[in-house]
Chain A
């Protein structure tokens, strides 16, 4: 673990108390988020709220299975977020593929492609589990342990190779006709 300056420690306190999330709702995990946000569990208590654009977001929530086609968009999205950024993987699909473990079109392990800070086990996790995960992530940020964004920079070659292996060689003409 690297040494943080005093300013970094203060900044981490602030970051842990104000987390704006971008929920990339690919799978069934998406249905657990509205109850976490609305009156029963009320995520805004923790200073968290949904943001509409990756530029403003701090956490990327991957809520379920990722097809190869979606993965490319998720990578674009992740790379558009401002440092420091955190990734939470929802449910067994992001851990080992879940029920899609042998599908030709979905990926099995999310952290081959993106640095995941925290997984929530379950199929699907309940709102309690989600809020518990957010509390854990806050604790990790305060301690300086949520370093996924640094890992991504340090091991970029490795991540890039994994991404290319799944996506194939991508020649981007423009965003809509690749």
Chain B
């Protein structure tokens, strides 16, 4: 019976990520359009896009490519099932940050492997840029999260959400500098401007996705949606206090809208500028936050 309940919760998490992830992406497109004084596509446009790509007939580039796409999607789905969506936790007690950080690389590496397997030089450049950018945002982000875990003396995300509820204040108030750093890192994780160098359609023909046709494109679009869902969910859980399922979705939507609005008005960093940026301002702020926490100076 517990197995059935777990399966139900996993299905709930995946369905939430699928439906709300794509819906929020569609709303994000609409928001970008409104900022640019356009009308924009309907909110369900991303559903049409995904299902359309699944109806088309594409090419494979060998078994490494096939395997890479499946590994990317499978890895991200596996990661997603460990992420707590507010109080909806698929595996209670196992929603540890280290599990998520560890599993998350499976998706990214699957994508890197599959895309390099196409043999297209743009794909290799895109993957190289994505991994370089990861080197930029992961360092300050992990310093901040580690600080948080050090403060709460636990790696369990649900415990951190509960601790915030008991303290009556969110971590964004308690660790404002760390939250700022996490927000800047989030922009890079989502691949939004100004850290959009890995995709860069005008420069490297959409980078890693350059050889993706039809069904493969659809699967990777879903993977991208799930990845965004994981990244924003972690921010909401760590800094905005999680909350019940619907409160969580509301907070998710606000963070997503903020990221979209920032992205709509900014130009793009070159890849070395992005890494240089991450390794100056955010990393110093992250160390500052860590220094405060280690000395017990928490509001």
Contacts and interface: CB of A to CB of B under 8 A. Distances in A.
Interface of A: 11, 14-15, 17-18, 38-39, 42, 44-47, 50-53, 55-56, 58, 81-84
Contact of B48 (A17, A55, A84): A17
A82 B48 contact: no
A2 B37 CA distance: 43
A69 B240 CA distance: 58
B36 A82 contact: no
Contacts of B180: none
A80 to B, nearest CB: 8
List the 7 closest A-B pairs by CB distance, nearest first: A11-B55, A52-B201, A55-B213, A82-B213, A42-B38, A39-B37, A14-B52
A44 B206 contact: no
A11 B213 CA distance: 16
Contacts of A39: 36-38
Given A39-B38, A82-B213, A52 B45 contact: no
Given A18-B48, A52-B205, A56-B212, 16 more contacts: A11-B55, A18-B45, A38-B38, A39-B37, A39-B38, A42-B40, A47-B48, A50-B201, A53-B211, A55-B212, A55-B217, A56-B206, A56-B213, A82-B59, A82-B213, A82-B214
A156 B172 CA distance: 63
Contacts of A51: 201, 206
24 contacts: A11-B55, A15-B52, A15-B56, A17-B52, A18-B52, A39-B37, A39-B38, A42-B33, A42-B39, A44-B33, A44-B41, A45-B38, A45-B39, A47-B41, A47-B45, A47-B49, A51-B201, A51-B206, A53-B206, A55-B59, A55-B213, A56-B206, A56-B217, A82-B58
Contacts of A11: 52, 55
Interface centre among B52, B205, B210 (most CB of A within 10 A): B52
Nearest to A45: B39
Nearest to B51: A14
B209 interface: yes
Contacts of A38: 36, 38
Contacts of A44: 29, 33, 38, 40-41
A12 to B, nearest CB: 9
Given A14-B52, A52-B201, A83 B45 contact: no
Nearest to B36: A39
Contacts of B217: 55-56
Contacts of A42: 33, 38-40
Nearest to A50: B201
B1 interface: no
Interface string B24-65: 000001000100111111100100110110011111000000
A60 to B, nearest CB: 14
Contacts of A18: 45, 48-49, 52
B202 interface: yes
Nearest to B57: A83
B199 to A, nearest CB: 9
A39 B158 CA distance: 45
